[in-house]
Amino acid sequence: MTLPDLTTGKPIEHCVACGNNQLYRQKNFPQWLGVAILGVACASFFILQGLYRPRPAWVILIGSALFDGIMYLLVGDVIVCYRCQAKHYGLPRSKSYDPFELAIAEKYRQERLRRELALKK
Ligand SMILES: [Zn+2]
């Protein structure tokens, strides 16, 4: 299998691993970490507000929002294949890929389940 040249700076049109042309982009940042930071900031905010400490509560809440904004700007995108979940790193930031769509992902999940069921028979 010939791999396409990923250093041309052009967006890829197909998955390098399986050739599927339905790809989506997501931030190259663990989603669980972003949710954890938000959760800790919100919990700290409410606890400190309950303890009548509004200044540190707002500092933590606004600080986490600033951190999130900075991370959004610094972290690049990763292009993911709906079919095989292959992640393509190092591509230039591009809006030519749509963000994740649940309906498309569900189509490939159903396809994967039917394939697994057919193999069991
Ligand atoms: Zn693929």
The answer, as to whether pTM is greater than 0.75, is no
Residues 121 and 99 in one domain: yes
pLDDT of 4 reads 47
CA 104 to ligand 1 centroid distance, Å: 14
pLDDT of 1 reads 38
Number of folded domains in the chain? 2
- Domain edge (last residue) among 41, 60, 75: 75
Residues 117 and 89 in one domain: yes
pLDDT of 88 reads 92
More confidently predicted of 27 and 103: 103
Residue 75 sits at φ, ψ, to 5 deg, of: -80, 135
Residues 55 and 36 in one domain: yes
Query: Taking Cα atoms as reference points, which of 9, 10, 14 lies closest to residue 1?
Result: 14
- Domain edge (last residue) among 75, 90, 109: 75
CA 68 to ligand 1 centroid distance, Å: 30
Helix (H, G, I), strand (E, B), or coil: what is residue 26? Answer: strand
Helix (H, G, I), strand (E, B), or coil: what is residue 101? Answer: coil
* Domain that includes residue 53, residue range: 29-75
CA 84 to ligand 1 centroid distance, Å: 4
CA 31 to ligand 1 centroid distance, Å: 21
Residues 38 and 20 in one domain: no
Confidence of residue 52 (pLDDT cuts 50, 70, 90): very high
